[in-house]
Amino acid sequence: MENGEFFLTINSIKHWVKIAGAENETVPLVIIHGGPGGHNYTFERTIGPYLEEYATVIYYEQRGCGRSEAPEDKEAYSIPLLISDLEILCNDLKLKKIIPLGFSFGSELALEFVLLHPDLVEKVIIQAPTIFCDANNRIPNIQLNGFLQIAEEIKMDWFTALYIR
């Protein structure tokens, strides 16, 4: 494995990938960013350089996120498809084991990946997982109420009826 930045075509979509710290020859940390719609810019500029000193780090941006290509089909963002993309990434890079490091929504993807591919995972790291909310669903309600502040009035009634309890 070599350090560098490149694109891999996975499930017909160009995915941006960057490998750093390959000289460490460790089981790679695969950074799975938050979102949906997130990117790895923050990791690359904050904790990433520190991790690269000790570990092989693979920055990977999901379909339609950051520097990766967006699918033409607006429905092509399912969890199984995102997990398939990650599995193909591992196959294309000939990785026998990885350590998924998921942030926020990326934590959910990391955990789903572990369940489907335990043989590919040495350890898993999750940071700020969205699935562990308190009993009052505080985090989802904060996000939904934020959306309602910017939503078009015509869509607010529909959205409120479906999601706000």
Domain ranges of the chain: 4-132, 133-165
Sheet of 57-60: strands edge to edge? 4-10, 13-20, 57-60, 29-32, 99-103, 125-127
CA distance 86 to 91: 9
Q: What torsion, rounded to 10 degrees, do the Cα atoms 35, 40, 46, 47 define?
A: 90
- pLDDT value of position 163: 46
- pLDDT value of position 127: 85
Q: Are 109 and 96 in contact (CB under 8 A)?
A: no
CA distance 65 to 35: 8
- Residue-wise pLDDT for 27-73, tens only, equals 999 999 988 788 888 889 988 999 999 999 999 999 999 999 999 98
Most trustworthy range by pLDDT among 41-50, 87-96, 137-146: 87-96
Task: Concatenate the DSSP letters of all residues of 125-162 into one string.
Answer: EEES-TT---TT-HHHHHHHHHHHHHS-HHHHHHHHHH
- pLDDT value of position 146: 55
How large a percentage of the chain has pLDDT more than 70? 78
Range 4-132 classified under CATH 3.40.50.1820: yes
